Structure 1
Amino acid sequence: MYLSLFVLLFLAGSCKDAHQLPINEFSQVDLQNYTLLDVRTPEEFEAGHLENAININWFDDDFTEQVAVLEKEKTVYVYCQKGGRSAKARAVLDSLGFKAIDLTGGYGAWMENPEN
């Protein structure tokens, strides 16, 4: 019985979505190997953003065309304000053949962390 419980707990813990990372666990180490993408509006971006981020607005009609020119060799870390737009953007990036990671919690969570 204990073995079954252990196996169940192990499997539950290993099912973490590999396409997500809490934004407060993100590090800008090794920046040359990835792209940091902010999918908020230009106004939101101008009000504050993560260092080294590029801004492509999720609401732009040509969002897909804009992100398609990013380097596919690099992992794309994508964030928005709270996480809704970045999850959708990650799905688009995945469909285009990118390795994309959604920084969950968004910029709002980043700003709430006193360590940032």
Structure 2
Amino acid sequence: MKKLILLLLLVSLSCKEQGNQANAQSEVLTATEYKEVISNKQVQLVDVRTPEEFEAGHIENAVNIDFFRDDFKTAFTTMDKDQPIYIYCKSGNRSGKAAKILSELGFEEIYDLEGGFSNYN
């Protein structure tokens, strides 16, 4: 019984550590930091909001890849995993989830806009 408990504890800790590693490359930037970086160079900029939200207003040069698309993961196949990717949504919730997915897909540098587009202007 003690061995079983120990084994379960070790597995639990291992899973938790793997989850932390999957999001290790994601960084949340303030609106000021985000604006500065994306205005100073050519970047991969992705808006993960719906097309309707995107049409209502978005950051210049952003590509719209709706988080709720059935093919969300495959929509990133044309992007360079070795280059930084900047993502945002309305409030930071969807982009946070998207950052985890992108990390799992092999993107190495992922930057998320704190507070989302609502906080950008």
Residue 18 of structure 1: CA displacement? 5.9
Whole-angstrom CA distance in 1 between matches of 2:65 and 2:73:
10
Q: Is the 8 A contact 2:46 2:88 kept in 1?
A: yes
Amino acid at match of 2:114: T
Residue 72 of structure 1: CA displacement? 1.5
When the two structures are superposed, what TM-score results if normalisation uses the length of structure 1? Answer: 0.74
Residue 49 of structure 1: CA displacement? 0.3
Tell me whether 1:22 sits opposite 2:30 in the alignment: yes
Mapping 1:82-101, distance limit 5 Å: 82-98=91-107, 99-101=109-111
Name the SS of the counterpart of 1:36 in structure 2: strand
User: What is the number of residues matched between the two proteins?
Assistant: 94
Residue 25 of structure 1: CA displacement? 2.0
Name the SS of the counterpart of 2:120 in structure 1: helix
Q: Where does the alignment leave 5 or more consecutive residues of structure 2 unmatched?
A: 1-24
When residues 24 and 92 of structure 1 are mapped into structure 2, their CA distance, relative to the original with a 3 A threshold, is: same
Which residue in the other structure is 1:13 paired with? Answer: none
Q: Is the 8 A contact 1:24 1:109 kept in 2?
A: no
Which residue in the other structure is 1:74 paired with? Answer: 83
Q: Is the 8 A contact 2:26 2:99 kept in 1?
A: no
Whole-angstrom CA distance in 1 between matches of 2:48 and 2:32:
17
When the two structures are superposed, what TM-score results if normalisation uses the length of structure 2? Answer: 0.71
Q: Is the 8 A contact 1:21 1:102 kept in 2?
A: yes
Which residue in the other structure is 1:7 paired with? Answer: none
Mapping 1:1-116, distance limit 5 Å: 19-26=27-34, 27=36, 28-32=38-42, 34-98=43-107, 99-111=109-121
